């Protein structure tokens, strides 16, 4: 099983910064920072 650089924390709803659609997002911890991983079909996963 591959390992990831982050630790999954929670799931939430967010907005796509490009098309403003409601999308699913993961809240993750990575290198002492908190990020949201989110993406829309036909667009890349974004780390915000």
Q: Domain-by-domain residue ranges, the chain?
A: 7-47
pLDDT given for residue 25 in this prediction: 92
Is this model's pTM higher than 0.85 or not?
Answer: no
How confident is the model at residue 43, as a pLDDT?
Answer: 64
- Tens place of pLDDT per residue across the chain (48 aa): 788 889 999 999 998 877 888 889 999 999 999 999 887 666 666 676
Residue 21 vs residues 4, 16, 25, 35, 40: alpha-carbon distances, Å: 27, 5, 12, 19, 8
Give the pLDDT score at 40. Answer: 66
């Amino acid at each position: 099983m591959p390992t990831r650089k982050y630790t999954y924390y929670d799931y939430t709803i967010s907005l796509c910064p490009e098309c403003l659609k409601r999308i699913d997002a993961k809240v993750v911890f990575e290198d002492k920072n908190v990020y949201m991983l989110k993406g829309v079909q036909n667009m890349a996963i974004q780390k915000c």
